[in-house]
A and B are shown apart, each in its own frame.
Chain A
């Protein structure tokens, strides 16, 4: 009983000490890989003009992505990793690529 209380107390303390101060970081963390891949793949393809194969390898990180869709017609790239999807689009010859906000409609496919 006493041991269980100790365990519970440890968990509560851990939440307070580690998770609570980092809650904003922890909530946003899973978004990084999908957003990074979508943005940097878009720029690699449509700003720098590299091949799809090169850009897949170039954006590879130690966290794997589940899905990548590149629509060359719209110059729009969607990537999903750690369960979160993000899209980036090429906007113009001076503007290059930018991540789209979650409000902007997803690409149709």
Chain B
């Protein structure tokens, strides 16, 4: 009996594997395209995402681009304003999650461990010997940092870093901040933590390897050709803010994350790294209705008894989010990756509304 069963089992397993491989679609030089059929759900989605654009007062939802990938196939794209399919768009803080992908590759190459002190790779952090890479990745460095943009320009650490006192050497500017609390004890979203990571990555690699690393480690393996990543005067990537990609190219990063860090047969980001990205920051306590922080990504998880931030999207949903409405959403339960570029200058746009309408328009059930 076992002699009969075993070959059958083997056959079933083999068929199972080839079946999975055949069903899995990946982009080559471009995305396979299969436009979603127009209908009421797509129209409702477009009414929300692309209302008449107010360029005079810059009010309301002002999407520049939306690209929707379902199970590796491009099912929807639309552009507005000056943005087209080939335009590399500024992604602002989505850059932070791209930086996390670079660090994931470096982690897989054994360049560092999460509990290594930052100072080991970036000497100006000698003043903060207890801050570990894990703390920067979870925005729990404890540094006295003020993360405000237009709302508090006088005391904003971010504006000072990007435009005035910090702009020549952003890592050193961050390192020069005092500690407010002990590392790992308080979540406080900080572009400074992200740029300190970008500086630490330089120390792990050396300046020469570092300059090409985003391309060699991430963009080229994924077939991304539109990427630009601006630096400060010392050559450190502005990991907090200044990456530019086309919407189609950013969707490739979404597909990498949807498939747990694997690109075709290559495990580019270790699975445990992606797991870390998707784990809520342990000391985070829900603040309003904002997304839940993970390891340099944003999560739709219910933590500490609070409802999940986007109730109309599945709990596994996670995202990279940036200023003025930039977003890369990954919905593993639905097989969806959605890129949204925008120039939202007021808070009209709601992630949850956008995701609810996108799921209704492009979710798998639409087929049946």
Contacts and interface: CB of A to CB of B under 8 A. Distances in A.
Interface of A: 22, 24-26, 28-29, 31-32, 35-36, 39, 43, 47-51, 54, 57-58, 61-62, 86, 93-99, 101
Given A48-B244, A50-B82, A101-B233, A29 B153 contact: yes
Q: Which 10 A-B pairs have the closest CB atoms?
A: A35-B163, A28-B164, A96-B230, A96-B228, A31-B164, A50-B82, A54-B82, A28-B165, A32-B163, A25-B154
Interface in B134-182: 150, 153-155, 159-160, 162-165, 167-168
A35 B168 CA distance: 12
Given A36-B163, A48-B244, 19 more contacts: A25-B155, A31-B163, A32-B159, A35-B167, A43-B90, A43-B244, A47-B230, A48-B87, A48-B89, A49-B87, A61-B150, A94-B215, A94-B228, A94-B229, A96-B230, A96-B242, A97-B230, A99-B163, A99-B233
Contact of B228 (A54, A62, A93): A93
B130 interface: no
12 contacts: A25-B155, A25-B160, A29-B154, A31-B163, A31-B164, A39-B163, A43-B242, A47-B228, A57-B55, A95-B230, A96-B228, A98-B232
A35 B165 CA distance: 11
Interface of B: 55, 81-82, 87-90, 150, 153-155, 159-160, 162-165, 167-168, 215, 227-233, 242, 244, 343
Nearest to B160: A28
Contact of B153 (A32, A94, A96, A97): A32
Contacts of A39: 162-163
Contacts of B87: 48-49
Contacts of B164: 28-29, 31-32, 35
A56 to B, nearest CB: 12
Nearest to A51: B82
A23 to B, nearest CB: 11
A32 B253 CA distance: 33
Contacts of B88: 47-48
A73 B242 CA distance: 23
Contacts of A99: 163, 167, 233
B160 to A, nearest CB: 6
A29 B164 CA distance: 8
Given A47-B88, A48-B88, A94-B228, A24 B244 contact: no
Nearest to A58: B343
Contact of A43 (B82, B153, B230): B230
Nearest to B228: A96
Residue with the highest number of chain A CB atoms closer than 10 Å, among B55, B164, B232, B244:
B164
Contacts of B163: 31-32, 35-36, 39, 86, 99
Residue with the highest number of chain A CB atoms closer than 10 Å, among B87, B159, B231:
B159
Contacts of A43: 90, 230, 242, 244
Nearest to B343: A58
Contacts of B168: 101
Contacts of A98: 230-233
Contacts of B228: 47, 93-96
Nearest to A44: B90
A22 B232 CA distance: 25
